[in-house]
Every structure is written in C-alpha cells, then in structure tokens.
Amino acid sequence: MRTSDTLVRIGCLIDAALACAGAPALAQEAKAGLLFHLSADKGTTADLAAPGTAAPTFDAETGVIADGAQGPAIACGDMQRLAWRAPGNIYAQRGTLSFYWRSRYPVGPTAFPVFRVAYADHSSWDMTWLRIDYNGHGFDAFVTDASLACTRVSVAVKAFPRPDRWTLLTFTWDETSGVKLYLDGRLAASKASKASKASKASKASKAGKARFDAALDQFGPHSRIISAYQVQSDYNFTRGGDIDEIRIYDHALPEAAVAQLARTRGSPPAGPAPAQQLAAWRHRYGWDKAAPPYYAHAALAVRKVEIHDAYDLKRWWWKATDGIRETTWPGVYNRSRLPGRNDYFQLPDWDAYVESGKAITFTLPD
C-alpha cells in the first residue's frame, strides 16, 4: 500500500471517529428541538439539517477561518451569496435562530442586514419573512405576519462590540406570545404578537396572537436579497462579516436556555420542546370563532368560487387572484402604514402610488 493511500485512510478514520463522537450530542439536541446546526467544522455544509439540505444552495465569496467563536467560522465577503434551504430547517409558527456574529471591521451609520429568512412566495419586493439587521445604532429583528405587518424589536447599543469581538444574537418567535431578541444570552427587547390592524377578522382573536405561519424558501446571512427568485448582494447592501454556530430550533427557547447557550458556547441542556397549542392552530386556520360545520350526508358537493380579476385603481393586480395566502394585496414593501414595515431601508413602492393600496375591486363569477 502506498504511503499516500495509508494517510488518506487514516484521515478518513479520524473524520469518522470525530463524526461518531459528535453524533450523540447532535442526536440529543435534535430530540430537544434542534432542526439546523452549522458549526463551520465542515465549512458551509451543515452538521445537522433536514435530509438533502446540508449543503448550501448558494456559496460564493465565503471562506473558513480558524478563530471562530467556537473552533472554525465562516468569513463572508462583502459580495457574498450564502443560503440554505428553509423547508424542514426552520418553522414559521415558532422557533429560535441563534448564531455568533462579528463585524470584522468597524460599523458606521449605514444599516445593513445580518440575517434573512425568505418566503417561498410573497407580495413584498424582497420576500423577507424574518430579518436581523445592524440598524445604524444597534440591532433590529422582526418576523412578518399573514397580513404583511412586522412584529419588530429594536435595540440601541451604546458601546457597539469591537470588530474582533463575537456577539451571540438569539431571536425567538411564537405566534401565541411574540418575539424576543437576546444579546450574548441576555434579553435585550421583546414584543407581544398582536393580530394586524389591517385584518378585521383578526380583531375577534385574543390579544397576543398572530399568524406567522408561512411557506419559507431559504435563509442566510448578510445579502441584499435572499429569496426564491435570487440570492445576491449589490448596491449599498455590500457588507459581510463573520458568522459561526448557526442554530435553529423548532420552538422559542426559554430565557434560561438562551443564557445557557451563551455561557457554554454550545447547546442548551436537553429538554422537551413545548407541545403545539391547539388554540394557535385554530386561529391560524380560522376556526377560533366557530368550529367547522359537520356534514352527516353520504356525499358532499364543493364548489370553488375564485376571483377572476382584481384592480387597484386601474392596475390589474395578478397576485390577488393566485390563491396563495402569502401573496396578499397590496404589494407593500415599506413606507406603509402597516405596523413595523417602514424602516431604514427605503426603497420605492414601485407601482404602489399615493392613492393605491386603499381599495380593491374584484370580478367574481356569476
């Protein structure tokens, strides 16, 4: 046997031993609700992910560095494109996103995104369901509800971390309670979820409920756009950073678990994930006002009455007729009266002019 072959086989045995050593810990975390984990030990390939999704969908202008928060980390260039598939790796109803991040060079007054999670389809221009940003003076984080409103929190950081210092960002969300943002394991801001004022039907629901549930497509750090139609960084959205130990859970971690995550720079103690609440399910699908009717007949005829056309002023709005809940009218991005949508990323509303977004006309079958 050649020496090179021997070294390759020894290397494979070492890798297998390390993988086996880490497998029990990941299996235990998975039982505690961990869906996705990227340690950077395998570069941009996740240690734990839904089947067939460990490798990123986009991976450009990234590299592995040795001085991570825990072992190696991922260095993201200013024009980086890095994203992973969302289905099976993150749930919109509730969850926790946690990762270490450092700016690598000093920040200024210009805001930039740190992390995004994209819709599979949506009316908003950037298709962003979740976003964590540097907002010019600290951090912002939000998730978007079914009515396009954002449940958003903002934290001002007087002494922003040095460029060489790792910061643990942990963001939790839950339809029944709201969102919380933690910095280095300490609660920095929280906001209760409430039904959007834009929906009259939602006023019948109890306070502290929202509908975050949605079809999600991809997630990743920094880019100007992470969506189903493209992943890119451009214009004034060219700013990278270093990222390490990305963890996504299927429920909102309690404060004690988030603190443990920061203290150990590892996984929190294993514990059962909270059961999904029946009340949240009923609210999400519209059964919280009354139970669905019971039909005892042997056969039932169902007719679909669909919208043929929808007009906002003289603009034919095609996404108001496609039957997809997330592509609701109007197609707002920002400068909107919906809660939490108007922010520091000021982009045009394109064809949503000053008089639009106020009334819609539907053409229905006879």
Query: Are the C-beta atoms of residues 48 and 29 closer than 8 Å to each other?
Result: yes
Q: Is residue 118 part of a domain?
A: yes
CATH label of the domain that carries residue 229: 2.60.120.200
Query: Are the C-beta atoms of residues 183 and 167 closer than 8 Å to each other?
Result: yes
Contacts 24+ apart (CB under 8 A), 19-22: 22/47
- Which token pair is 104? 């690598």
Backbone angles phi, psi at 217, to 5 degrees: -115, -60
Q: Is residue 100 part of a domain?
A: yes
The domain in which residue 95 lies consists of: 25-281
Which candidate, 190, 205, 162, 309, places its Cα nearest to that of 254?
A: 190
Query: Are the C-beta atoms of residues 3 and 11 closer than 8 Å to each other?
Result: no
Q: Using the 8-state DSSP alphabet, how is residue 47 labeled?
A: S
Domain count, the chain: 1
Predicted pLDDT of residue 66: 96
Cα-trace Rg, the chain: 22
Partners of 131 in beta bridges: 116, 142
Neighbours of 78 (CB within 10 A): 15
> How far is 196 from 198, CA to CA, in rounded Å?
5
Per-residue exposure over 15-40, b if at least 16 CB sit within 10 Å of its own CB, e if not: eeeeeeeeeebbeebeebbbbbbbbb
Q: How many CA atoms lie within 13 A of 24 on its CB side?
A: 4
Which candidate, 147, 136, 137, places its Cα nearest to that of 209?
A: 147
Q: Is residue 346 part of a domain?
A: no
Element (H, E) at 183: strand 178-183
Q: Is residue 177 part of a domain?
A: yes
Find out whether the peptide bond into 330 is cis, omega within 30 degrees of 0: yes
Per-residue exposure over 283-314, b if at least 16 CB sit within 10 Å of its own CB, e if not: bbeeebeeeeeeeeeeeeeeeeeeeeebebee
**Residue positions counted in the chain:** 366
Predicted pLDDT of residue 41: 95
Q: Is residue 64 part of a domain?
A: yes
Predicted pLDDT of residue 5: 44
- Which token pair is 274? 């909270």
Partners of 140 in beta bridges: 133, 154
User: What tens-digit pLDDT sequence spans the chain (366 residues)?
Assistant: 444 344 334 344 334 333 444 566 677 677 778 999 999 999 999 999 999 999 999 999 999 999 999 999 999 999 999 999 999 999 999 999 999 999 999 999 999 999 999 999 988 878 899 999 999 999 999 999 988 889 999 999 999 999 999 999 999 999 888 999 999 999 999 999 775 444 444 443 344 478 899 999 999 999 999 999 889 888 878 899 999 999 999 999 999 999 998 887 666 665 555 666 777 777 777 787 887 788 889 998 888 888 889 998 888 888 888 888 888 777 665 667 788 888 888 766 556 667 777 788 999 888
Q: Is residue 16 part of a domain?
A: no
Backbone angles phi, psi at 258, to 5 degrees: -65, -40
Predicted pLDDT of residue 13: 37
pTM across the whole model? 0.84
